Structure 1
Amino acid sequence: MTSAPARPVDLYPTRGTDERLIGRKDPVVWSAPGTAGPFWARELEEYERDGFATVDAIVTPEEVAELRDELDRLVTDPAVREDERAVVEPHSREIRSVFEVHRTSEVFARLAADPRLVGRARQILGSDVYVHQSRVNVKPGFGASGFYWHSDFETWHAEDGLPRMRTVSVSIALTPNHTTNGSLMIMPGSHRSFLGCAGATPEDNYRKSLRAQEAGTPSDEALTTFAEACGIRHFTGPAGSATWFDCNALHGSGDNITPYPRSNVFLVFNSVENRPEPPFAAPVRRPSFIAARDVVPVG
């Protein structure tokens, strides 16, 4: 009789009775120094230090126009609105996010496999990569709600079973991102400490968290401590610019009460050597359209 494989040690316990601060146990940049790729050495040094790196023009204006057209097609398609992969704003009833766009759209599938993106992800993670999650976030003007402060890894570890911090996100602007229209905010250096959050994970938490995250969010006291130690950086830029950020960086964004929409596509690359395990702090895994389970390398 064979025994079940041993569960990996939980290096980052969370969703317990108390908050706990744990020093990062994983590298930030996994590839060896001097590994060839699209990032310059200086950019990787900045990424390792701060937990993020910006690229001013990762896609061309012509490509942005194509991506915008595809985004408009998705958010105006009644079939997409009715699909469980679409998240709708509670008040305006406009689409807030559409998940798994690299599987439902040929345009976004090409973007997810683009060497300009995949090469950078491989450089950071030191291995082949697959798409753990993809989505478009739409913040129309006049009241689109923001995303509260959180670490993506806390959720991906607790609810998706990612064991190690070997995951990177890239946010590509499809409209100009201003400080006033709900742009991304990150606390530089916050990626070096893991904040295990207090409180259990409700059943089917993803249904609520995609609209307003509550489980897995830091306390006001913890956020104040991090903000005072790290500061807060706003990310602005024209359409076509991109921000790469570490899975454990504390980030969030405010509401958009301006007339100017903010739309971005997010791609999350995970190392093929960081296969999902059963959730570390949730009753069941989230659906595969939020957290992919088939570890198929891209590019």
Structure 2
Amino acid sequence: MTTHQEDLYPTRLSEARERLERPHPAVWGSAEDGPFSQEELDAHEARGFTIIDEFISQEEVDRYSQELDRLASDPALESDERVVRERSTGDVRSIFAVQQLSELMDALSRDERLLDRARQIVGGDVYLHQTRINYMPGFKGTGFYWHSDFETWHAEDGMPIPRSVSCSIAMTDNYPFNGGLMVMPGSHKTYVSSVGETPADNHKASLQAQEVGVPTEADITYLAEKYGIDQFTGKAGSALWFDSNIMHGSGSNITPFPRSNIFMVFNSVENSLQDPYAAPAPRPEHIAHRDFAPLKSAV
């Protein structure tokens, strides 16, 4: 890692400050660089997210779902630090660095369907900043409060600017009522800093329930009134591509219908991590990878 010279996105401050209009684009490439058309790229730039139905086949959904079940029940991972559990039930909430635990997930992270789109959005070679599986079982799955991923990645991981994109692939049908992800279209253009210092080892608590680095209710209200709220719904196999700075969150799942997804974050190799901008030490490597070598296709 290298020490940063300038902080363009200050956060974890001693007092509140005005919201910032983002100076960087969401899309760095063009239609000539990959499978997205220019119209699709323009829409992504404007909204901050893109939904692709039937991104993977039902056969693939079945195969990956079996792998999710295997990983969640693997006794060898019982006390592994990559496994995050629900505070109240002890059930598996997330598993991080899944490409290290599964050949199937490793191949998926280097699938051309993902890599080509990721490179197109960030404008060049990418590496994996983070991977995880999110589990939200029926009746007892808890949600994620409103937040910007980039605010955390900047503050605690040292990501300089929001030149990264996330892909969430649905392993189950996403309904409006089973804790589906909510997004504020266009909110990626506004950067919201947070107030309060980052505690040491904050990740141990924040991955169960984020309390540091979240926007104020006033900021959430402002963004919701300005941009509105949309939701990622769709059949298993659909994919949500979304900007790292978009404001998003999810409610708890009190329905019988589980919701799970594979989540992969692609960061530009030109945006590799530095020292944390607002934390006493970087988060562990399984949460924020520091191998900045460009990803190569699995084929």
Q: TM-score range with shorter-chain normalisation?
A: over 0.9
After TM superposition, give the deviation of residue 22 of structure 1 in Å: 1.1
TM-score w.r.t. structure 1 length?
0.96
1:281 to 263, 278, 283: 278
Q: Equivalent residue for 1:122?
A: 119
1:29 to 20, 23, 27: 27
Contact kept? 1:187, 1:231, Cα under 8 Å: yes
1:40 to 24, 37, 41: 37
Paired residue total: 295
Q: Equivalent residue for 1:9?
A: 6
Q: Equivalent residue for 2:70?
A: 73
The letter of the residue matching 1:128 is D
Provide the C-alpha distance between the structure 1 equivalents of 2:198 and 2:4, rounded to a whole number of angstroms: 20
Q: Equivalent residue for 1:190?
A: 187
Contact kept? 2:3, 2:274, Cα under 8 Å: no
Provide the C-alpha distance between the structure 2 equivalents of 1:58 and 1:185, rounded to a whole number of angstroms: 20
The letter of the residue matching 1:26 is H
Q: Which runs of 5 or more structure 1 residues have no equivalent in the other structure?
A: none
Provide the C-alpha distance between the structure 2 equivalents of 1:44 and 1:203, rounded to a whole number of angstroms: 39
1:57-94 CA-to-partner distances (Å, cap 9, x unmatched) read 11111111110000000001122231010011111211
Q: Which runs of 5 or more structure 2 residues have no equivalent in the other structure?
A: none
1:134 to 131, 135, 140: 131
2:227 to 230, 234, 238: 230
Report SS of the residue matched to 2:165.
strand
Report SS of the residue matched to 1:284.
coil
After TM superposition, give the deviation of residue 34 of structure 1 in Å: 3.2
Contact kept? 1:8, 1:163, Cα under 8 Å: no
Contact kept? 1:153, 1:247, Cα under 8 Å: yes
Q: Equivalent residue for 1:256?
A: 253
Provide the C-alpha distance between the structure 2 equivalents of 1:11 and 1:69, rounded to a whole number of angstroms: 43
Change (3 A) 1:200 1:163: same
After TM superposition, give the deviation of residue 9 of structure 1 in Å: 0.7
Provide the C-alpha distance between the structure 1 equivalents of 2:145 and 2:275, rounded to a whole number of angstroms: 26
Provide the C-alpha distance between the structure 2 equivalents of 1:66 and 1:214, rounded to a whole number of angstroms: 35
Contact kept? 1:19, 1:195, Cα under 8 Å: no
Contact kept? 2:86, 2:208, Cα under 8 Å: yes
After TM superposition, give the deviation of residue 35 of structure 1 in Å: 2.3
RMSD of aligned C-alpha atoms? 1.2
